[in-house]
Amino acid sequence: MNAFRFPLRHTLTAALLAASGGLSTLAAAAELPAGTVISAANLDQIKNDTFEGHSIASLLTEKMEWRIRNSGWKLPLAKSQEVPLDPRWVKASQANEGKAVLNKEACRVDNWGAGAPFPNVDMNDPQAAEKLVWNWHLGQLLGDVSQVPQFTQLLIDGKKGVHAEPVAEFSRYTMKGRLTSEQTVEGDGSERGRQLLYFKSPSDMKGLGTYTVMYDSDKVNSVWAYIPAVRRVRQLSGGAWMDPVGSSDQLQDDLDGFNARPCWYPEYKLLGKRWVLAVANSKTGLWNPDGKSFAEKYPVMDDAEPYWNMNNNNFEPREVYVIEATTPSVHPYSKKVLYMEVKYPRFYYVEAYNRKGEFWKFMEFHTYSNMADGGDIRLTASAVIDFQRNHATLSMIDTKSWRTNFDAKASDFSLQTLQRVGR
């Protein structure tokens, strides 16, 4: 009997030591305070620590962690906050429950009036991913009319820094899904909305712009470009939605992360739900057009290689859907992976892959809720980073001049308007 006692005692002792070591490891994990900055320098030390009950490791996607380790990205932790939503949008979305129907053959959603057409998506629904993308397409909280009089589109070389700072104006008018009147549809119902974009500077780009009509059908957008050098308007091809925006890293399809009619993509997969660190309650004033130094003009950015990192905003835990979107065969990308807020339709991150299936671009979007001027969810800044050519395009918004739900009519958004402002 004594022959068995030592091995047994030894085994129990080893087990207790192992257990106590495990407990020590667990005890060493800490709840990090708000204000902690995640960086390459401390990631390994804090990866198993938590923030608001989530481990840091679980709050970072594979590509987010890769950016932190290899590209100088830093994430300051901020306490999560509720994002207030326009009560008109909430009411309209709830009214769609059990009524809206996805009509794939006709490339539309039937029985939809306004708000998100599918307010409660069942994860087990075979059409769950498509319904979520339709929520984005039709149910964004953008306001019935909005105007951004000034934004800049920074072109950034990862080695040399900012090499172009064009300034433009953007405006949008909603024709379907309107919330500010009893009539949710304006016109004959064929149009979803109209957009105007034109550049104000530099001089060689001044007046250059586009006018876009978006339809509520499988019909591709009608897009016209005004060329000030010849004072002529040219209609662009039907595939313009897949083309680059000027000399930027951004495709038309990358605006706000996903800018296509959902039926133009052949397949969607809902990969699941998870938590990530994202900017849902952004600081404002991320671009100061009157700033003299880099720090004054772009207070959210780091003036260090690779120059495109927006390291000085507030990153908080947000629950997201993860959706894989397969592109049509003629698209420059093979797929996009979309990280979409669970509580309302907004993308925080998008990964784009080339036709070989290789990681190509990372897109990042910073937003906040504007309850003072229409209840819209506003973009403060975005980044489209092309890691294959070490280049990025950052859009920085002058939020002070942004207007939403002001007095306007559809005729204010026309081809004639584009020609007038371009001259």
Whether residue 342 is contained in a domain is answered as yes
Whether residue 193 is contained in a domain is answered as yes
Residues 132, 270 contacting (CB under 8 angstroms): yes
C-alpha separations of 277 from 28, 141, 250, 257, 308 in Å: 22, 21, 23, 17, 18
CATH number where 278 lies: 2.50.20.10
Whether residue 95 is contained in a domain is answered as no
Residue 422 pLDDT: 79
Residues 363, 257 contacting (CB under 8 angstroms): yes
SS3 at position 16:
helix
Residues 325, 316 contacting (CB under 8 angstroms): no
Query: CA nearest 271: which of 123, 91, 95, 161?
Result: 123
Segment 51-69 mean pLDDT: 98
pLDDT confidence band for 62 (50 / 70 / 90): very high
Whether residue 87 is contained in a domain is answered as no
Residue 28 pLDDT: 64
Averaged pLDDT score across all residues of the chain: 92
Whether residue 78 is contained in a domain is answered as no
pLDDT > 70 in the chain, percent = 93
pLDDT 10s digits, 178-209 = 999 999 999 999 999 999 999 999 999 999 99
Whether residue 24 is predicted with pLDDT greater than 90 in this model: the reply is no
Residue 23 pLDDT: 44
Whether residue 124 is predicted with pLDDT greater than 50 in this model: the reply is yes
Residue located via tokens 């040399």: 160
CA–CA distance, 402 with 145 (Å, rounded to integer): 11
Segment 311-338 mean pLDDT: 98
pLDDT 10s digits, 353-400 = 999 999 999 999 999 999 988 889 999 999 999 999 999 999 999 999
191-201 and 222-227 as β-strands: parallel, antiparallel, unpaired? unpaired
pLDDT confidence band for 229 (50 / 70 / 90): confident
Whether residue 13 is contained in a domain is answered as no
Residues 134, 324 contacting (CB under 8 angstroms): no
Task: Give how many domains the chain has, as a whole number.
Answer: 1
Residue 247 pLDDT: 84
Contacts 24+ apart (CB under 8 A), 178-183: 178/114, 178/144, 179/86, 179/88, 179/89, 179/92, 179/114, 179/115, 179/144, 180/88, 180/144, 180/405, 181/144
Whether residue 411 is contained in a domain is answered as yes
Q: Both tokens of residue 337?
A: 């992976």
Query: CA nearest 198: which of 179, 184, 212?
Result: 212
Residue 86 pLDDT: 96
Whether residue 4 is predicted with pLDDT greater than 50 in this model: the reply is no
Q: Is the peptide bond before 202 cis (omega within 30 degrees of 0)?
A: yes
Whether residue 32 is contained in a domain is answered as no
Whether residue 259 is predicted with pLDDT greater than 60 in this model: the reply is yes
CA–CA distance, 412 with 423 (Å, rounded to integer): 16
Segment 166-182 mean pLDDT: 95
Q: Is the peptide bond before 166 cis (omega within 30 degrees of 0)?
A: no
Segment 145-163 mean pLDDT: 96
Whether residue 246 is predicted with pLDDT greater than 90 in this model: the reply is no
Segment 236-262 mean pLDDT: 91
Domain range for 364 = 128-422
First to last CA, the chain: 101
Residues 119, 96 contacting (CB under 8 angstroms): yes
DSSP 409: -
Whether residue 149 is predicted with pLDDT greater than 70 in this model: the reply is yes
SS3 at position 27:
helix
DSSP 114: S
pLDDT confidence band for 5 (50 / 70 / 90): very low
Instruction: Compute the chain's Rg from CA coordinates.
Output: 24
Whether residue 84 is predicted with pLDDT greater than 70 in this model: the reply is yes
Whether residue 2 is predicted with pLDDT greater than 70 in this model: the reply is no
pLDDT > 90 in the chain, percent = 87
